[in-house]
Structure 1
Amino acid sequence: MNRPLGIMLVDDQPQRAQMVGERLRAAGYNLLALLNSAEGLLFQVEKHRPDIVLIDIESPDRDILESLAVINRQAPTPVAMFSARGNADFITRAVESGVSAYMAEGLTADRVAPAIEIAMAQFRSYQQLRVSLERTQQQLDERKAIERAKGLLMAKKNLSEDDAHRALRNLAMNSNTTMRAMAEQIIHLFQPGN
C-alpha cells in the first residue's frame, strides 16, 4: 500500500489554512507541517522532508523566491504556489526559482488536488530533464578530455590519431581506470610547468 503524500502547507491566512489542512487530511494526505509564513522555509523543508510544498501567501516577495531557489538546488521538492499576484514577470521568476505549478488564484479546497497533481507531474518531468542534461554534460566533458589527451599524445609522442586513441585505451586498461580518468592524468602530465 502506498503511503499518503506528505504535504507542507505555507499559508498566511489562518482560517483558510485550517480549512485547507482539514480538506487535505480528509482526502488522505499527510499534513506534515502548517506554517503561517515562509520564514525559515529551507530549514522546515529539510526537517519535514515533504513530498510537496503548497504555498499561499498574500504578498509573496523576493525573499520567498530566493528561499525556493535554494531549496530547488539543495533539496529539490515540488512546489505549488497560489497567488492573486499574477503578473507575468513574477510568475516567470517563481518558476525559475523552482515553483512546479503556479496558480494565479488563491488556494481553495477544490483547487488543492489538481494543483498537487500538476506540481508533481511538472516536478518529475523537470527532474528527468535535469538528469538527462547532467548526463549529456558529463559525456561531453568526457569526450573533450579524451580528445584533448589524444591531441597531446599525438603532439608529444608523434602518434597518429588512431595510435593515440589505442595508447590511451591501453593505458586506461593497464591502470584499471576509465579512459576519462586516464585522459585527465595525461592532460595534467603534459600541462606546461609539469
Structure 2
Amino acid sequence: MSERLGIILVDDQPERAEMVCRRLRAAGYRLLAHLNSAAGLLPQVDRHRPDMVLIDIESPDRDILESLSFINRHHPTPVAMFSARGDADFITSAVQAGVSAYMAEGLSPERVAPAIEIAMAQFRSYQQLRQSLERTQRQLHERKTIERAKGLLMAKKRLDEEAAHRTLRNLAMNSNASMLDVAEQIINHLQSQP
C-alpha cells in the first residue's frame, strides 16, 4: 500500500525533514513535495493531488488552518499534523479544518508510518460519515419536496393523498423523470398559479 501513496511533507526543520524524507522513501512512499512552510501548500496540493499531507511545524497558526480548511472543502486529503502546540482549542480547530490525526509531539522518522496509517484510517472513517450524512440529507430533501408537491396537488387539484402520490408517480414514469424532478416541476408550476 505505501508504494502507491504520494506524500507532501511540510516541515520547517531541515535536518528532521531530511531524515523523515529518507524514511518515507525507504518505506516506499512517493515524496511529491517538501515544503519548509505552509505558504505554498495550496498550489502544491492542487498540482500533485497527494494521498496524504504530513505537517510538522513548530508554531502552526491560523493561516495553516485556513489552508487546510480550503483543502478539506475542495480536495479532501488525509492530513497528519505534528506539533508541540497541545492546547485543546487549537487541536479542536485543527480537526475542524480537516486534520485527520493530530500528534502533540514532534515528528520522528520512526513515527511516520504509524502516523500515516492512523490519519488514513481516520480520514476514511470521516469520509464515510460525511457521505452517509450527505446521502441522508439528499433523501430528506427529496422526501420533503415530494410531500410538498403532493400537498400542493391536494390543495389545488382537490386530490386525496393517494391520488396525489399516484399522479406524481405516473407523471414521473410517463416523462421518464425522477419523482424529485416531477415534484419540483409541479411545485414551480402550481406556485405560480393564483
TM-score, length-scaled by structure 1 = 0.97
How far apart, CA to CA, are the structure 1 residues paired with 2:170 and 2:115?
55
- Superposition pairs of residues 136-155 of structure 1, within 5 angstroms: 136-155=136-155
Deviations 1:3-59 (A, max 9, x none): 431111000111110111011111111111111010021111011111100000011
* 1:173 counterpart residue number: 173
Deviation readout 1:106-161 (Å, 9 max, x if unpaired)? 01001111100000000000011111111111000000000000000000000000
| Partner Cα separation in structure 2 for residue 85 and residue 148 of structure 1 | 51
1:54: which partner in 2? Answer: 54
The superposition leaves residues 132-191 of structure 1 with CA deviations (integer Å, 9 ceiling, x where unpaired) of: 111111000000000000000000000000000001110111111000000000000111
Report the counterpart of residue 119 of structure 1 in structure 2. Answer: 119
Richer in helix (by share): 2
Q: How far is the alpha carbon of 1:92 from its aligned partner?
A: 0.2
Q: Look up the SS of the partner of 2:39 in the other structure.
A: coil
Aligned equivalent of 2:185: 185
Q: Which amino acid aligns with 1:53?
A: V
The aligned counterpart of 2:108 is 108
Taking the aligned partners of 2:2 and 2:103, their CA distance within structure 1 comes to: 27
Number of matched residues?
Answer: 194
Give the match for residue 33 of structure 1: 33
Q: Structure 2: where are the runs of 5+ without partners?
A: none
Stretches of structure 1 that go unaligned for 5 or more consecutive residues are none
Q: Runs of 4+ in structure 1 displaced over 6 angstroms? A: none
CA distance in 2, matches of 1:46, 1:3: 21
Identity of aligned residues (%): 76
